[in-house]
Chain A
Amino acid sequence: MNIAVCIKSVPDPEFYDKITLDPQTKRLVRDGIPAVIGEADTHALEAALRLKEELGGEITVVSMGPPAARDQLMEALAMGADRAFLISDRKVGGADSLATSYTLSMLLKKTGTYDVILAGNESADGSTAHVPSQLGVWMGASHAANAVDVSWDQGIVVTRKFESGLGRYRLKTPCVIGVTGAANEVRFANVRTILAAKNKPLVIYSAADLEDLDENYLGLKGSPSQNGEVETMESSKQCVMITGTESEIAQKLADILRQSAVRKEEA
């Protein structure tokens, strides 16, 4: 089985408290913040590794991002993927989810034909959860998001989570699946696999390497959604001493809680 996994290089959640917003570009300032594979993407990769263990085949990892995203592709190879491709070009930078899914679809078409394409259901930074479904449309493939289980039973079977419960689907291949963190427990990379990673193919493409790219769907210019105003939330703590008799204190506390709740609902 030919499996592709889309991953994204995102800031390490351990450093979230050190990330700031650039008021001019409205983008995250990532200087000095280490990058990791997005949490949901690691579950997509784990699902791919399990399918490969059961059915054999090859796992290709693809990503779009700055040249430094190569490190996350190496991590994926160290986890057990077989080959990796990165598209890194200023032309594709600043993409929203539509432009991202378009570029990824073109990268996937360039690098092979796949039975199953797995992606994290949503990225740890953008969190739109658009890309898997959009990718399914661009690829002309069946697709399912919010997957809490991906398995093989004479075909790909996906369990999806809804607000009202779970739904189980058989997907025709080729298919695209958005995998959530509930789908599996991600393995630790094995030292032997890590040491083998450097001998696996990792190719970095520029936009010019991908044929027939439609520039109307590339990067910031090809993104119908643009960032609006952003501001950094200031959080502050304030200690208020409530005094009085026990019943007065209870009443005041109840009033404060009630007012807090009202404000939250109004917001």
Chain B
Amino acid sequence: MWYLNEERRLLQKTFRSYAQKRVRPLALEMEDNDASSREALLEMGKLGMFTMPVAESCGGTGPDYISWGLLLEELGKESATFGFLALLRQVFNGPMSAACSEEQIRKYVIPAVNGEILMGLAGNEPAGGNDLMEYQTKAVRDGDDWIINGGKVLVTQADEVDVFMVIALTRDQIDFTTMQGLDIFFVPTSDPGFSVGHIEHKVGLNGSRTGSVYFDNCRVSESDRIPNPWGILMGFGPELSGYAALALGGAESMIAKTADYLKNRIQMGRSLWDTHQAARHDLAKLQMEVYNFRNALYGHLANRNCGIHDSLEAGALKAATGPLMEKVASECMLLMGGTGVIHETGIERYYRDAKALQIACFSDKTFVDTVAGSL
């Protein structure tokens, strides 16, 4: 691969080993019991796996987005959900590194990078994710503190994180000229006013423990208000290409499993691989799509290493994630027959995860209109 060098090969080998030894045994447990991945995620942080591509001033090892892609690709091979949760670390760390105060970087960002705390985002409200004016969660100034009241829905890892970034209105109206009226606060989940509501049952991404959270007079200090909240909101965009790395890993894993099945499924003395050219070609066509997808992804990440952070390109890759994963899962299930639809085979899970990934971190539908707006 053109994007691999000795250092990245070493990283890739370690990521693969971690994914196979830690994530593989956890994947089915997360799927079946919505089991927590918290310990494994914190361990990843301690192993330095969230230092990429974070700036050194924020506890990272510098901006190598290709190594970050390799990490997510390997995790995606074992579990799209686990990979998604690992991806969220950078979705948060990236914008936080740029938008937080030095004190906040010391208090929240560096511990999050090092796996000492798990950070979350409490953004969505029933009125909708995009219409910020409709948000009901409000923060009111009280001396040097802020008092937060309200609630959020569809929050990832609702009952697992240590600190939430909470989006709240601080005025009756958001002034889009001065960008005042909306703020983001760090709220520790140990706050006595914080509580967790219902954990949802979803079509896919099981184990991400999506649920509702409530803030009842949660008190945080002014120093926990992020000075540049729009830097956070606008900063998520470039990180969305990480989704494509998850899809790439998932697709590679499904194709490898299916090829292995076809080559070892013997009927009347010969393998399905040898007797069914159509099956071979169906799988080869998927593999060709994966080649192109891989080049598009790592080309994009190489650009990011050069300082080019194109949110539209990143979003386009994100929007291609679900459809690729869904198509490969669908075809592989078909090629594997009965084995393909069995839960433990681990392919039908991707079929459902694909749908959830199309909605997570901005729906693909919303994103298409963003592209339309750029034309």
Given A191-B48, A192-B48: A198 in contact with B6 (beta carbons within 8 A): yes
A190:B10 contact, CB within 8 angstroms: no
A249 within 8 A of B: no
The stretch of B11-19, B89-97, B102-110, B181-189 in contact with A is B11-19
Closest to A70 in B: B6
- Total residues of chain B contacting the partner, CB 8 A: 17
Q: Does B369 contact A (CB under 8 A)?
A: no
Decide: A191 and B11 in contact? CB cutoff 8 A: yes
Tally of A-B residue pairs with Cβ under 8 A?
40
- Let me know if A74 and B10 touch, CB within 8 A: yes
Interface of B is mostly: helix
Write out the residue numbers on chain A whose beta carbons fall within 8 Å of the beta carbon of B17. Answer: 188
Residue of A nearest to B13 (CB): A75
B-side contacts of A75, CB under 8 Å: 10, 13
Q: A195 at the A/B interface (Cβ < 8 Å)?
A: yes
Contact with B along A55-89 (1 / 0, CB 8 A): 00000000000000001001100100000000000
Q: How far is the CA of A194 from the CA of B9 in the complex (A)?
A: 10
- Contact A198 to B51, CB < 8 A, known contacts A75-B13, A188-B14, A192-B61: no
Contact of A191 among B6, B9, B13, B47 (CB under 8 A): B47
Residue B75 interfacial (CB < 8 Å): no
- Is A256 an interface residue, CB under 8 A from the partner? no
- Chain A residues, CB < 8 A from B46: 190
Q: Is A45 interfacial (CB 8 A cutoff)? A: no
Which residue on B lies nearest to A79, using beta carbons? B14
Q: Would you give the 0/1 interface string for A184-222, flagging 1 where the beta carbon is closer than 8 Å to chain B?
A: 000011111111011000000000000000000000000
| B344 at interface, CB cutoff 8 A | no
List, in ascending order, chain B residues with CB within 8 A of A194's CB.
7, 10-11, 14
Cα of A188 to Cα of B49 in the assembled complex, Å: 11
Residues of B within 8 A of A191 (CB): 11, 14, 47-49, 51-52, 61
A-side contacts of B47, CB under 8 Å: 188-191
**CB neighbours of A189 from chain B (8 A):** 10, 14, 47
Interchain CB contact under 8 A, A78 and B51: no
Instruction: Report the separation of the CA atoms of residues A74 and B17 in the bound assembly, to the nearest whole angstrom.
Output: 16
Which B residues touch A192, using CB under 8 A? 48, 51, 61
Residue of A nearest to B64 (CB): A195
Q: Which of B1-39 contact A (CB under 8 A)?
A: 6-7, 9-11, 13-14, 17-18, 21
In the assembled complex, the CB of A11 is this many whole angstroms from the nearest CB of chain B, namely 15
- A sample of 25 inter-chain contacts (CB < 8 A) reads A75-B13, A78-B14, A188-B17, A188-B18, A188-B21, A189-B10, A189-B14, A189-B47, A190-B46, A190-B47, A191-B11, A191-B14, A191-B47, A191-B48, A191-B49, A191-B52, A192-B48, A193-B48, A194-B7, A195-B7, A195-B61, A197-B7, A197-B10, A198-B6, A198-B7
B residues with a Cβ closer than 8 A to A are: 6-7, 9-11, 13-14, 17-18, 21, 46-49, 51-52, 61
Extra pairs beyond A74-B6, A188-B47, A195-B7 (11, CB < 8 Å): A74-B10, A75-B13, A78-B14, A188-B14, A188-B18, A189-B10, A191-B11, A191-B14, A191-B52, A191-B61, A195-B61
